[in-house]
Structure 1
Amino acid sequence: MPSRVNTAFWLYIACAAVSLVMMIVAIATAGAAVSQVQQSGKLSAGDTSAAVGVLVTTSVVVGVLYIVAYVLFAVFMRRGANWARIVLLIVTALSLTGALGLFGVGALRLVLGVVATILVFIPPASEYFRSGRAARP
């Protein structure tokens, strides 16, 4: 395995850790965001509670999906699975949606993912994935 693939693996694991931080920050700041809306008079107290619940649930679900995706597919990518490399490219592209949010933490995840994705698509790594595919029946 080329060292670049191993480096990319750890960068994807770092993306998973950043996703965990993003999930925690989103949950911690959910109440403040909803209270601003409540102060504007657009939501009742019951609607505010429901909004906090939806916001927290969405943050947890999306955060867990990102964490699982990065870790699971990074493991397969490290083993030489070309499809996992492509899925990680897609997951990194999807992280563009959160790049500007959560105090710059989303941008950090995007940068780590982009660097890792570049590492797995440049020649030494590409040869590794081609050889892994050729060795399979």
Structure 2
Amino acid sequence: MLTGGCHCGAVRYEAGGEPFERALCHCELCRKTTGAPAVAWFTVREADLTMSGEPVRYASSDHAERTFCGRCGTQISFRDAAYADRIDITTASLDDPEAAPPVEQIWVRSRPSWMASAHTLPDDLERRPLKA
């Protein structure tokens, strides 16, 4: 069972079954709806997902809907009308994001050029405190 939810805890979910897709998406819609350069998703059957709380629904295109927490803004899911029996869940919203890591990248033609070399950026392991 995969469990997760939003940042503030108002929306929670449990996803049963084994995820059958796990991808890092670079499409423009994912980037714009999250403000992130890419979004990691895992896919489960709609029937295997239980969600509590009241996620807000947003039609991000004429065929797709996303849900997010109305309080803290965390995006939780993506549903495409062409695949009504399945739902994509944001991997970073998992309690343990290591439980369903991406195994492929999709929409790479939309990827910002600087993302191709992001793995070469130096790590700041000290987590410097912010200056007042």
Which TM class, normalised by the smaller chain length?
Answer: under 0.3
The structure that is strand-richer by fraction is 2
Task: Say which one has the larger Rg.
Answer: 1
**With structure 2 as the length reference, what TM-score do the two structures score?**
0.26
Q: Which has the higher contact order (CA 8 A, sep 6+)?
A: 1
